Amino acid sequence: MEAPLVTLQSGPREKLRLAFAVNGEERELLVEPYKTLLEVLREDLGLTGTKHGCELGECGACAVLLDGELALSCLVPAVECGGRAVTTIEGLRDGPELHPLQAAFADHGAAQCGYCTPGMIVAARWLLDRKPDATRQEIADALAGQLCRCTGYQQIYEAVESAGRVLRGLPPLPPVVAAVHGEEPHGR
Amino acid sequence: MMRLPRFRYLAPASLLEAVKVLGDLGPEALPLAGGTDLVPNMKRRQQTPANLVGLRGVAELRAVSGDAARGLTLGAMTRLAEVERGAVAAGWPALARAAATVATPAIRNTATLGGNLCLDTRCSYYDQTEEWRRSIGYCMKREGETCWVAPGSDRCWAVSSSDTAPVLCALGAEVTLRSRGGERRIPAADLFADDGIRHLTRRPDELLTAVHLPPVEPGQRTVYLKLRRRGSFDFPVLGVAGRVRLSAGGTVESARIFLGAVGSRPQEARAAADFLVGRRLGDEETVREASRLATQIAKPMQNTDLTLGWRKGVAREYAARALRELGS
């Protein structure tokens, strides 16, 4: 017996309905099939924290969490995200409070030009969600796909270690930058 | 900015529907699994299917069954991040290592085992933007007529760059291909053809649905070593995959060795494997001769990262390292 063809489909110029959760909020919109999740986040939802880098999966600037897993939004067609939960850099903070990673990146000078920072923080969040006591090697492995062309990886690793401590209820690592400039670190 | 070209998107909800859609559309459609290879290729207009058949909704492709004693069947949509761990890591560590060395964590969370097997072949004249390729008059693999790696050649020399493919060949794994007309189960090695353009024996109406790992035998050892520029991220410029069965005394009873990334398909090093049978991997003379035989079949071309001379030079030492690891 021939199976009924109930396949969801769209023509090349038709839009498809996309209902998904973005940073905990249910969103519903019509999207062209050719648009990537990155393009929908930035252009249709105005969430420009996620960055457009190489567009080919080679740089990590567009990293988001998709159902809690680290993913590259430039490689995912938005129409494949129906029913899924997306977390972007905008979804990390809790009200006015910075996420410990955001505070640690500021305190440790872990951003130079800052273009890689959203992807870097999202990837670090993915790691610390699973392993807040990650070792330096585990941090390097988890961030292997996040490229910083200012090459400031040392401060980034220190910031992730410090944030991991805060998430475990320990005091943050002393920020090198604050020590030099006599600044007070940000709140946890 | 590089946008995807326009395409018709179809999302079948079952395997039956998926193969029906592929049967209807034939070469006009490509299946979309994780998309980590196809999406960048589409952005660069290397692949421009009129229809994409999204497989996310096909639950059958994610099923995993079996164990080390009976063999393990992995649905083709099993993500590489899952292949890195668990049952595969315990029974077939070379496959877990191959999966773990593909690209980066974010990509392994998305990319699938079936997708890595069907990875498009790669070449430094092909993996470029549309503008770049247009400026050289394109190449044989897409829109052009000349192979710029070997301009006198009548075939395409693009490189099989999958990490899991040579391992599955060495393990003697099998794959299932399903179409509207039924399904066929073939050795993983038979999925590949020695041609940079027609590098898969999968017909356009067929879907790769599952990978079958054979039972773990007593004395089985497996290895995968990957050579690349950076310790993370990069595609292989050489992959050495091996599987041996050792007797209680440490003599090689059977061996299979495949090299990745030195041809348009995984290359079997049969002479090296035959040489190893009856010998011991602890013997350095044996390792040196077997690695010489293994890399004799490697015919790398000047179309990947790193220079040809260097890649040829290190191939033998790299194979020797893999064999020493099998014996240790």
Residue A75's nearest CA partner among B222, B24, B106, B179 is B106
The stretch B203-214 carries a mean pLDDT of 98
The matching CATH number, chosen from 2.60.120.260, 3.30.465.10, 3.30.200.20, 3.20.20.70, for B60-118+159-213 is 3.30.465.10
pLDDT at A179: 55
- The CATH superfamily assigned to B220-327 is CO dehydrogenase flavoprotein, C-terminal domain (3.30.390.50)
Residue A23's nearest CA partner among A70, A82, A68 is A68
What count of CB pairs under 8 Å joins A to B?
A: 124
Contact between A77 and B35 using a beta-carbon 8 Å cutoff: yes
Q: What is the per-residue pLDDT across B290-309, written as a single tens digit (0 to 9) for each?
A: 999 999 988 888 999 999 98
User: Cα(B296)–Cα(B290) distance, rounded to whole angstroms?
Assistant: 10
Residue A24, Ramachandran bin (φ over 0: left; ψ between -120 and 50: alpha; else beta): left
Each domain of chain B, given as residue ranges in start order, spans 60-118+159-213, 220-327
pLDDT at B1: 86
User: Cα(B74)–Cα(B113) distance, rounded to whole angstroms?
Assistant: 8
Q: What is the per-residue pLDDT across B217-246, written as a single tens digit (0 to 9) for each?
A: 999 999 999 999 998 889 999 999 999 999
Least CB–CB distance from B36: residue in A35, A57, A123:
A57
Q: Alpha carbon of B318 to those of B93, B167, B219, B240: distances in Å?
A: 19, 16, 23, 8
User: Cα(B31)–Cα(B44) distance, rounded to whole angstroms?
Assistant: 18
Edge-to-edge order in the sheet of strand A8-10 = A8-10, B8-11, B51-54, B29-32
Q: What is the per-residue pLDDT across B92-142, written as a single tens digit (0 to 9) for each?
A: 999 999 999 999 999 999 999 999 999 999 999 999 999 999 999 999 999
pLDDT at A182: 59
Q: Alpha carbon of B121 to those of B5, B41, B127, B151, B261: distances in Å?
A: 21, 11, 9, 18, 9
Q: Which one of A54, A56, A66 would you mutate to disrupt binding with B, by most B Cβ within 10 Å of its Cβ?
A: A56
pLDDT at A34: 96
> Is B15:B23 a contact under the CB 8 Å cutoff?
no
Which value does ipTM take for this structure? Answer: 0.95
Q: What's the one-letter identity of residue B310? A: W
Chain B residues whose C-beta is within 8 A of a chain A C-beta are 1-14, 16-17, 20-21, 32, 35-36, 39-40, 43-44, 50, 52, 54, 56-57, 81, 103-107, 109-110, 232-233
Q: What is the per-residue pLDDT across B58-101, written as a single tens digit (0 to 9) for each?
A: 999 999 999 999 999 999 999 999 999 989 999 999 999 999 99
Give the domains, in start order, of chain A with CATH numbers. 16-91 (3.10.20.30), 100-181 (1.10.150.120)
pTM: 0.95
**% of chain A with per-residue pLDDT over 90:** 81
The list of chain A residues with pLDDT below 70 reads 1-7, 177-188
Give the Cβ contact number of residue B278 at 10 Å: 11
Please name the helix (run of DSSP H) or strand (run of DSSP E) that holds residue B179, with its range, or none.
strand B174-179
Quote the minimal CA–CA distance from B278 to chain A in Å.
40
With a cut of 70, say whether residue B185 has pLDDT above it. Answer: yes
**% of chain B with per-residue pLDDT over 90:** 95
Q: What is the per-residue pLDDT across A113-138, written as a single tens digit (0 to 9) for each?
A: 999 999 999 999 999 999 999 999 99
Q: What is the per-residue pLDDT across B141-177, written as a single tens digit (0 to 9) for each?
A: 999 999 999 999 999 999 999 999 999 999 999 999 9
Q: Are strands A85-87 and A25-31 parallel, antiparallel or unpaired?
A: unpaired
> Is A23:A88 a contact under the CB 8 Å cutoff?
yes
> Is A106:A155 a contact under the CB 8 Å cutoff?
no
End-to-end CA distance of chain A: 63
Residue A39, Ramachandran bin (φ over 0: left; ψ between -120 and 50: alpha; else beta): alpha
The stretch B187-209 carries a mean pLDDT of 98
Contact between A10 and B8 using a beta-carbon 8 Å cutoff: yes
The stretch B198-208 carries a mean pLDDT of 98
